[in-house]
Structure 1
C-alpha cells in the first residue's frame, strides 16, 4: 500500500492534538471534583475534556502514518529518533524535578544534596511529571516500529485487516469487562497503542473515493464519540455520586470512534491539505517540546491563580489553554534560537 504524499493535513492535525492535550490537562483537575462543584461548572470541564480525548490516540496514529512503510536503516532510525526524543525528555524531566523540589514545595530545606540527586535519578527513571508517561510509551513503540515497518512494507490489505481485527478483539474484551472470561490465548502482541500505530498508517493510505460522503461520516464519528464520552461520563458520575472517568479511557470505543473521525476528517478536507500559516507551522514544528513543557507552564500559571476555575470554567479553561500554548511555544522557540537548543527543546 502506497503512502499518501501530501501530509500538510497531518501538520494541522498535530497542532489540534497539541491543543487538545492542553485542554485535557487544564480541565481534568475540575473533572475529578464531581459533587464539589455546581453541576454546570463540572460539566463545562467534562465537555472540554470529553471532546479532547482523541489527543493521544491521534498522536500515535500520526506516528504510524509518518513512520510506517518507509525505507531506512535500523541504526539510523534509532539514532535519529532517540536523540530527538531522549535528550529533550531528560532535560525537561530534570526541570520538573528541580521545580518540584525548589519552587512547588519546600522539600529542599530538609534534603541533603545526595537526597536531591537520588530523587532526580528516581524521578527521571519512573517519571517526574504526570504527562511524561506518553514519552515512555512512545519509546516502547519506537522499539517495535522497525519490525512493524518491515511487515507493513510487504503486507497486503487483508493482512492489515487481520491485524486490526485482532486488535479490535482485545478492545472488545477490555471495553465489555470480559478480560477475566477470555480464553487463555495470548493477544498481548496485538493490544494497546501498537493498534493505533497500524490504524493511523492504514487510514492515511486507504483509498477513499466518495470524499464528500466520508467527510460527513467522519465528522459524525467524531461528534458521536465525543457526545458518548460527555453524556455517559456525566450519567455514570451522577449514578455513583463521584467522578467516573471510565469512558475517558483512550481505548474505549467512544474515544476510538472520535479519534478515527477527526483523523479521517482532516485527511479528506482540502482546507487542511492546502492551507497553513506561520503560527500553525511553528506549533506543529515545536509540538514535542510544547508537550514536554506545557505542564510546567500550567503549574506556573496556577501559582498566579490562572487555571480552569478562572471566572468560570467555561471561560477559564480556554483562556488558560491559550496562555499555556502561547507561552510554551515562545519558550521552545527561544531555546531553539540557540545553536544547540534543538537538542533539549524538543
Structure 2
C-alpha cells in the first residue's frame, strides 16, 4: 500500500492531473482567441474535458483537511494560522499583483465599477480569471470548523447526499436575479460556495472512508477505467449538445468521483514507471504555485509568440512551454526571502518508511498543501 497517514502518493497524482487540466483549459482558450474566437474539434475537446480540473482541486482540498483532522484532531488556532499563511497570504498577494497587472499592463481600471464592486470582485477572486478557486477554498475554510461536529463515519453518507442536492440546486435551479444590490451580486458569483460544496464534502467522505474506498479502487480499477472512458464519451456528447459547459456542471458530481477512484486504483502502476511517478510528484508538489503564476506566463507567451505556433498541431509545444515557464518562475520565486508567504508549496522531507513486502518504498512528502 503506497500510503501512510503522513503521505498518500495518489493524492499527488490527482493534484498533478488537476493542475495539468487547469493549464490545458487556459492554453486551449488561447488557441480559441488565436483562431478568431473559434474552437476546432481538438481544441474544443481539450478545453471541455480539462474542465474536470477545478473540481478535482476542490475535492483534494477537502480530503487533505478532513484526513488530517481525522487522525490528528482539530485545533482552531492552528487551523486559522495555517490556512492564513498557506492560502490567505498568497491569495492576497496574487490578487493585488493581478489587479496591478490589469491596470498597468492591460489598461483596465479595476475600480471603474465603483469601490464596492471592486471589493466584491477582490473577495470572490475576480482580480484575474483563475483566482475564483482561491475564494471558493477560503469560503470552505469558514465552513470547515462547523463540520468538525460530524466525526462519525455514519453521518458522512448523509452529508454527501445533502451536498448533492445543495450543489444541484445552486447550479441548476437557483436564480440570483431575484435578489438585488450587493446580495444579488454575491449570490451571482461563480465562486459562491454552495455551487461547489459537493466536491469538498466528497473529499471528506473519501477521507473518512479511505481504507475501503482504496481497496475498492484497487480491486475494480479496470471497471473504473471503462467507466472513465464512458464518462469521457458522455462529456463529449454533452458539450456537443448543449455547448460549452462550466467546471462545476452537475454531471461532474458523477465524473469526478469516478476519475478519482480510477486514479487511486492505478496509483501503484504509475509508481512503477519511475519517470511518470517523478513527473506527477513534481507537478503535484508545485501544483498550486503553478496555478497561481501560469496565467501571467501564458499572457507573456502570447505577446512574444509568432503566429505559426498557434497551429493546432503545436498545442503540445505551447502547453509544455507554459508549464515549464510556470515551473521556472516558481523556482526563481522560491529563491526570494519569505517566499512561503506568496507561494503555496509544501516542504519536502525524505525519510525512510516501512517497506511492505511486495510494495515499492515511497518518499514521505508533507501533504499540507491545499
Shared fold per TM-score greater than 0.5: yes
- In the TM superposition, what is the alpha-carbon distance from 1:268 to its structure 2 partner? 1.7
Counterpart contact for 1:22–1:325, Cα < 8 Å: yes
Query: Hey, what does 2:253 align to over in structure 1?
Result: 256
Query: Hey, what does 2:233 align to over in structure 1?
Result: 227
What secondary structure, in the 3-state scheme, does the structure 1 residue paired with 2:342 have?
A: helix
Change (3 A) 1:278 1:169: closer
Distance in 1 separating the partners of 2:324 and 2:283: 9
Which segment drifts farther, 298-307 or 129-138?
298-307
- In the TM superposition, what is the alpha-carbon distance from 1:190 to its structure 2 partner? 10
What secondary structure, in the 3-state scheme, does the structure 1 residue paired with 2:326 have?
A: helix
Distance in 1 separating the partners of 2:156 and 2:29: 35
Query: Hey, what does 1:56 align to over in structure 2?
Result: 54
TM-score (norm 2): 0.73
Map 1:163-202 onto structure 2 (within 5 A). 163-173=159-169, 191-202=194-205
Residue from 250, 260, 265 that aligns with 2:262? 265
Query: Hey, what does 1:339 align to over in structure 2?
Result: 337
Distance in 2 separating the partners of 1:98 and 1:174: 32
- In the TM superposition, what is the alpha-carbon distance from 1:31 to its structure 2 partner? 5.6
- In the TM superposition, what is the alpha-carbon distance from 1:44 to its structure 2 partner? 1.3
What secondary structure, in the 3-state scheme, does the structure 2 residue paired with 1:131 have?
A: coil
Counterpart contact for 1:203–1:264, Cα < 8 Å: no
Query: Hey, what does 1:18 align to over in structure 2?
Result: 19
Query: Hey, what does 1:148 align to over in structure 2?
Result: 147
Query: Hey, what does 1:88 align to over in structure 2?
Result: 90
- In the TM superposition, what is the alpha-carbon distance from 1:168 to its structure 2 partner? 2.3
Map 1:30-41 onto structure 2 (within 5 A). 37=38, 41=39
Alignment deviations for residues 205-242 of structure 1 (CA, whole Å, 9 cap, x no partner):
15144545521232233222232222221233xxxxxx
Distance in 2 separating the partners of 1:34 and 1:304: 17
Distance in 2 separating the partners of 1:285 and 1:234: 35
Alignment deviations for residues 44-87 of structure 1 (CA, whole Å, 9 cap, x no partner):
12110222121111111111221104113111111111111122
- In the TM superposition, what is the alpha-carbon distance from 1:279 to its structure 2 partner? 4.6
Distance in 2 separating the partners of 1:327 and 1:76: 34
Query: Hey, what does 2:131 align to over in structure 1?
Result: 132
Change (3 A) 1:89 1:147: same
Matched, 1:304 2:307: no
RMSD: 3.5
- In the TM superposition, what is the alpha-carbon distance from 1:323 to its structure 2 partner? 1.1
Distance in 1 separating the partners of 2:316 and 2:322: 10
Counterpart contact for 2:34–2:310, Cα < 8 Å: no
- In the TM superposition, what is the alpha-carbon distance from 1:259 to its structure 2 partner? 1.4
- How many residue pairs are counted as aligned between the two chains? 312
Counterpart contact for 1:306–1:320, Cα < 8 Å: no
Change (3 A) 1:230 1:13: same
Which segment drifts farther, 215-224 or 54-63?
215-224
Structure 1: runs of 5+ lacking an equivalent: 181-187, 237-243
Alignment deviations for residues 19-64 of structure 1 (CA, whole Å, 9 cap, x no partner):
1100111223556899964xxx522121102221211111111112
Map 1:201-212 onto structure 2 (within 5 A). 201-204=204-207, 205-208=210-213, 209=215, 211=217
TM-score (norm 1): 0.77
- In the TM superposition, what is the alpha-carbon distance from 1:199 to its structure 2 partner? 0.9
Query: Hey, what does 1:329 align to over in structure 2?
Result: 327
